[in-house]
Amino acid sequence: MRVLAALSGGVDSAVAAARAVEAGHDVVGVHMALSRSRAQHRNGSRGCCSIEDAGDARRAADVLGIPYYVWDLSEEFEETVVADFVSEYEAGRTPNPCVRCNEHIKFSALLDRGLALGFDAVATGHYARIVEVPDGAGGVRRELHRATDPAKDQSYVLAVMGADRLARSMFPLGDAPSKDAVRAEAAARGLSVSAKPDSYDICFVADGDTQGFLRDHLGSRPGEVVDADGRVLGQHDGAYAYTVGQRKGLGLTRPAADGRPRYVLEVRPGTNQVVVGPTELLSVDELHADQTVWLAEDVPAGEWFDAEVQIRAHGDPVVASVRRGGTSTEGAAADTLQARLSVPLRGIAPGQSLVVYAGARVLGQSTIVSARRGAPLRAG
The pLDDT tens digits of the residues spanning 161-210 come to 999 999 999 999 999 999 999 999 999 999 999 999 887 668 888 778 88
Which amino acid, 50?
A: S
* Superfamily for the 2-195 domain: HUPs (3.40.50.620)
For CA atoms 259, 263, 266, 267, give the dihedral sign: positive
Q: What is the CATH number of domain 282-372?
A: 2.40.30.10
Q: What is the CATH number of domain 220-277?
A: 2.30.30.280
Q: Is 49 a catalytic residue?
A: no
Per annotation, catalytic residue among 48, 49, 98, 101:
101
List of residues 6+ apart from 315 with CB closer than 8 A: none
Per annotation, catalytic residue among 48, 49, 98, 203:
203
Residues forming CATH 2.40.30.10 domain(s) in the chain:
282-372
Residues forming CATH 2.30.30.280 domain(s) in the chain:
220-277
The tens digit of pLDDT for each residue in 248-293 reads 989 888 888 888 899 999 999 999 999 999 999 999 999 999 999 9
Give the pTM.
0.89
Task: Say how far apart CA 372 and CA 92 lie, in whole Å.
Answer: 16
> Rounded to 10 degrees, what is the CA torsion of 110, 203, 101, 117?
0
List of residues 6+ apart from 257 with CB closer than 8 A: none
Residues forming CATH 3.40.50.620 domain(s) in the chain:
2-195
Q: Is 48 a catalytic residue?
A: no
List of residues 6+ apart from 51 with CB closer than 8 A: 38, 39, 40, 41
Cβ proximity of 336 and 327 under 8 Å:
yes
